[in-house]
Amino acid sequence: KQDRPIATRDAILKTKGQWLFTKYDSYGRVAFTGIASGGERSMEQTNASAFGINNVKRTQNISFNREGMDVYYDQNNTYPSAGLLKILSVNYYDSYPAY
């Protein structure tokens, strides 16, 4: 809906039933990326379309933890909302969490 890729996969990820996802902040900047489980493209497109704008919000507190990394983005109400298997990168802008 905002003319940007939010999920892709290659032949290897397809055989595993996984997608490479990108979540953006309200300014269109990449907030974080990772791997999520998912189904066929048509089903995933329907799921993604249901979320509307699909921007994550920066939080003051830890929203979740993956791979031992605290993530300060609220991923609720964004695609994918479930099935997060791995976080690959997290970007913060303007201020950084105190790790």
The string of pLDDT tens digits covering residues 43-97 is 999 988 888 788 999 999 999 998 888 899 998 889 998 888 999 999 999 877 7
What are 3-48's pLDDT values in tens digits? 899 999 999 999 999 999 999 999 999 999 999 999 999 999 998 8
Flag whether the pTM goes above 0.85.
Answer: yes
Rounded to whole angstroms, how far apart are CA atoms 61 and 10? 34
What's the first-to-final CA gap in the chain, in angstroms? 34
Total number of residues shown for the chain: 99
pLDDT band with cut points at 50, 70 and 90 for residue 99: low
Where are the chain's structural domains?
Answer: 7-90
Whether residue 20 contacts residue 37, with contact meaning beta carbons closer than 8 Å, is answered with no
Could you tell me if residue 31 is left (phi over 0), alpha (psi between -120 and 50 degrees) or otherwise beta? alpha
